[in-house]
Amino acid sequence: MQESVTKLKGAAAQKPDGWLWAAIVVFVTVWISTFVGTNDINNWLLENTLVFLALLFLIVTYRKYKFSTLSYVLISIFLCLHVYGSKYTYAENPFGFWLKDMLNLERNHYDRLIHFGFGLLLAYPIREMYIKWLGYPVKSAWFYPIQTTLAVSAMYEIIEWAVADVFFKEQGMAYLGTQGDIWDAQKDTFLAFWGAFLASTFISILQKYTSSAKPGL
């Protein structure tokens, strides 16, 4: 009897909760809508290559290396923002144009918003990965999301260059989305760093001063 109860509890622990299911449904709905409504299917496929890889990673690691529900929700929000950009290309994104008009900006800044969101939204999942998966000490966890964000952002800019100049010249400029800014790559990397810095600092302060926080978070 005790063994059966233990198995039931284990099965319940493995079952995704409501927030996780909601995040999945919202993301899949947004993702399908961007595919159906895209005006450049080749750019959509290029932009979503990393999305396919990210989803494959999350699915394969779900049983053995499960993130918290909060991390999955944050990842889902970021992916929704990213795939929405892929629907129109970042440089032609309607929300970016609305933001441009509202704030009297010189360019469409949707790409900058996504790079900032990359650092801001994924800092917590990255922190969790280092602490829970890799066993790094909590005291040093402030640094790792920032370091990882910088490394991944730099690698992404290299991938963008390769796509634009080497592999897919026809779709490359739409994918790159520099809009004439020669410092676009550096600014994007800085915004990702700044987002990760703010999120990591907030999480560390919250973890330090919240006595009810669980160990290792």
Q: Per-residue pLDDT tens for 36-75?
A: 888 778 778 888 888 999 999 999 988 888 899 999 999 9
Write 44-52 long-range contacts (CB < 8 A, 24+).
44/86, 44/87, 46/163, 46/168, 46/171, 46/175, 47/82, 47/83, 47/85, 47/86, 47/89, 47/175, 48/83, 48/86, 50/156, 51/79, 51/82, 51/83, 51/86
**Is 44 in contact with 38 (CB distance < 8 Å)?**
yes
Q: Is residue 64 part of a domain?
A: yes
Is residue 6 a part of any domain in this protein? yes
Q: Could you tell me if residue 181 is inside a domain? A: yes
> What rounded mean pLDDT belongs to the chain?
81
C-alpha torsion sign, points 68, 194, 210, 135: positive
Instruction: Say which range, 36-45, 132-141, 179-188, has the weakest mean pLDDT.
Output: 179-188
pLDDT value of residue 177: 54
Look at residue 169 in the predicted model and tell me its pLDDT. 56
Structural contact between residues 47 and 85, judged by C-beta atoms closer than 8 angstroms: yes
The span from the CA of 76 to the CA of 55, in Å, is: 10
Domain of 44? Answer: 2-209
How big is the chain by its Cα radius of gyration, in Å?
19
Residue 176 resides in a domain: yes
Residue 65 included in any domain: yes
How many domains would you assign to the chain?
1
| SS3 call for 174 | helix
pLDDT confidence of residue 215: 52
Tell me what pLDDT residue 142 has.
Answer: 86
Q: Do the domain assignments include residue 101? A: yes
> Considering the domain boundaries, does residue 215 fall inside one?
no
Q: Is residue 217 part of a domain?
A: no
